[in-house]
Amino acid sequence: MITLALIMVLNIFTPSNTIYDYSFKTINGEDKSLADFKGKKILVVNTASKCGFTKQYKDLQKLHEMYGEQLVIIGFPANNFGSQEPGSNEDISTFCEENYGVTFLMAEKVDVKGDKINPLFKFLTTQDNPDFSGDIKWNFEKFLINEDGKLMHRYRSQVSPLDPIITAQL
């Protein structure tokens, strides 16, 4: 007979299979649980303000405006590639608002690779999906999560947020 205590211990040591077990701080310092978005698709993007792909903020904002009812977009600024996100959270927030009119959700700056990798990105980069797994190669990689909190697809930096390969999934 399995006791409640044993079930609780098993749950602690069983790796999560969904994104809903993770949380993050917004760029304004508020705690946010990804479980708040159950029933919606989520697009997680590692971003940077001084990158050749930075113009994708514009397309991410447009995607947010087009699909905001069924899709949550979360930008995670990271300074892991070419030191292309050197600013503070306040600097990043101001940059995004002033240059791209960003109103989609932005997280505080995190590490998306290396020894200090954020637990969410450690989870995402190791999940099975039909595309690829492993380390993030550059800024603006995208992870599309389904309504059940599972990774559906992963896209490299070169794929525009408005590419039909993404929008067809929404």
Active site residues: 51
Residue 29: other Cβ atoms inside 10 A: 8
Residue 24: other Cβ atoms inside 10 A: 20
Of 81, 106, 71, which is closest to residue 92 (Cα–Cα)?
Answer: 106
> Taking CA 64 as the corner, what is the angle to CA 19 and CA 33, rounded to the nearest 5 degrees?
30
Structure tokens at 132: 């690829």
Structure tokens at 169: 């999934």
Cα separation, 168 vs 170, whole angstroms: 6
